[in-house]
Amino acid sequence: MDFPFSRLRRWPDVEADNLQAHDATDLLLVERALASGLGGSEIAVIGDDYGAITLALTDAGLDGIRVHQDLATGRRALARNAEELGLSAFSAHELDATLLDGARLVLLQLPKALAELEEIADAVARWAAPDVVLVAGGRVKHMTIAQNDVLGGRFAQVQAQRAERKSRLVVATEAVPVPAEPPFPVTEQHDGLVLVAHGGAFAGPRLDIGTRVLLGVLDGTGASSRPAPTVVDLGCGTGALAASYALAHPESRVIATDRSAAAVASARATMVANGIADRVVVMHDDAGSEIADASVDTVLLNPPFHLGSSVHTGAATRLFEAAARILRPGGELFTVYNSSLGYRAELTRLIGVTEQLERTPKFTVTRSIRR
C-alpha cells in the first residue's frame, strides 16, 4: 500500500510527537476493504479519527465512500487532509440511515464506550444491507470481550481475527432483527433536571460527579444567584451545566458547545426535555471556535483528561485557551477537574488570577478572572 499516511495531520486536534494521525488498525481496515472487491458506494466508515481510512480507500479509486466521524476536530482534519492530498470522492454523514443505507461493508474503529458501540451496532443492523459485514478494529491493549458481547447483541456471528501489528479485527455478520425503537437516546431524572444521552456521550444520562461538585459550588458561592448575561458551557457533554444554569436563570443567554456529535445531539435533546430548547443554543464546534472573542461573561468547564484512549492534558489546555479567548476582561471561568492534575497554575497563566473554591479528595473547583 503506497498511500502517504505520514502526510496526514491531526490538526486542529492536539498534535504531539507521541500522537499520530493513523495507526495499524487503520491499515488493517483499509486492507480488508480493498480485498472485499466492493465498490466505494457499498462501503461506510465509522470512527475514522483523521480520515486515514476514508482517504486511503478514495486514493485507491473507491469513489462514494460514506463516512461518519463523531468529533468536529476529526471532521476538520479529514477535510484538511483531503484538500492537501487532492481527494474529494467521499461524503460525510451523521450516524443515520443516509450513512448506512445499502452499505454491505462497514468499517469501524472501535469506540472506547460500550454504549457508543451498542448504538453503532444497532444502527448498522437497522439500516445497512441485509448481508452487511461489520468489521471493527482496535489496538489489542484496548479491546475487551465485552465489545464482542455488544456486537453479539445485533449480529449472530462475531469472530475475532488474528492480531497483527498489535491491532485486531473483529468481524460481525448475519444481522439479527432489531427492536422497533433504537436503544438510544436514554433519559434519566435528576432532582428537577432531565438528562438525555446518546451512546457516545460521556457519562451517559448520569449526572457526572465532577459536574455535580461544580453545580454545588456555584450554588454555595452564590455565583448562580448572580446571573451573567452570556454563559457558555464549554465541552457541554449532555448539557447538564447549560441546562441547570438556564433553568435557574431564564434571563441569561446560554450556549452549550462540544466537539462530539453524540454529545451535541444529547444536549439538544436535554434542552427539549427540560423545556428550554428556545433559550439554549447548542453548537457542534471545536473549542468554541465559532464564538466571538471577548463576547462571554461566564464559562463553565468540566474538561476531559483523555484524548481517545490516551491520558493527555492537551485537550484541557485547548479549552483553557478557548475560554481565555472568548471571555471578556473581568469575565469568570468556573472549572472542575481531577485534583491530581493541578491545573491552577496553568489557569492562572492562561486566564488570570485563579482561586480555589472547593477541594475534595478527587475534585478541585476553581474560579479564574480573565485579565
Domains 5-175 and 186-369 share a fold: yes
pLDDT given for residue 305 in this prediction? 64
186-369 topology per CATH: Rossmann fold (3.40.50)
- List of E strands, 98-241: 105-109, 133-139, 155-160, 167-175, 186-190, 193-197, 230-234
pLDDT given for residue 16 in this prediction? 86
pLDDT tens for the chain, 371 residues: list them. 799 999 999 999 888 888 899 999 999 999 999 999 999 999 999 999 999 999 999 999 999 999 999 999 999 999 999 999 999 999 999 999 999 999 999 999 999 999 999 999 999 999 999 999 999 999 999 999 999 999 999 999 999 999 999 999 999 999 999 999 999 999 999 999 999 999 999 999 999 999 999 999 988 765 555 789 999 999 999 999 999 999 999 999 999 999 999 999 999 999 999 999 999 999 999 999 999 999 999 999 999 864 444 444 567 999 999 999 999 999 999 999 999 998 999 999 999 999 999 999 899 999 999 99
Bridge partners, 90 (sequence order): 65
pLDDT given for residue 222 in this prediction? 54
pLDDT given for residue 219 in this prediction? 82
pLDDT given for residue 18 in this prediction? 84
Rg (CA), the chain: 21
Give rounded-to-5 percent helix, strand, coil for the chain. 35, 30, 35
Dump the DSSP string for 51-91: SHHHHHHHHTT-TTEEEE-SBHHHHHHHHHHHHHHT---EE
pLDDT given for residue 104 in this prediction? 98
Is 3.40.50.150 the CATH classification of the domain at 5-175?
Answer: yes
- Domain extent listing, the chain: 5-175, 186-369
Distance (Å, whole) CA 18 – CA 22: 12
Distance (Å, whole) CA 231 – CA 252: 7
Dump the DSSP string for 283-328: EE-STTTTSPTT-EEEEEE----EETTEE-THHHHHHHHHHHHHEE
Q: How far is CA 116 from CA 44, 70, 152, 197, 202, in A?
A: 17, 10, 15, 10, 10
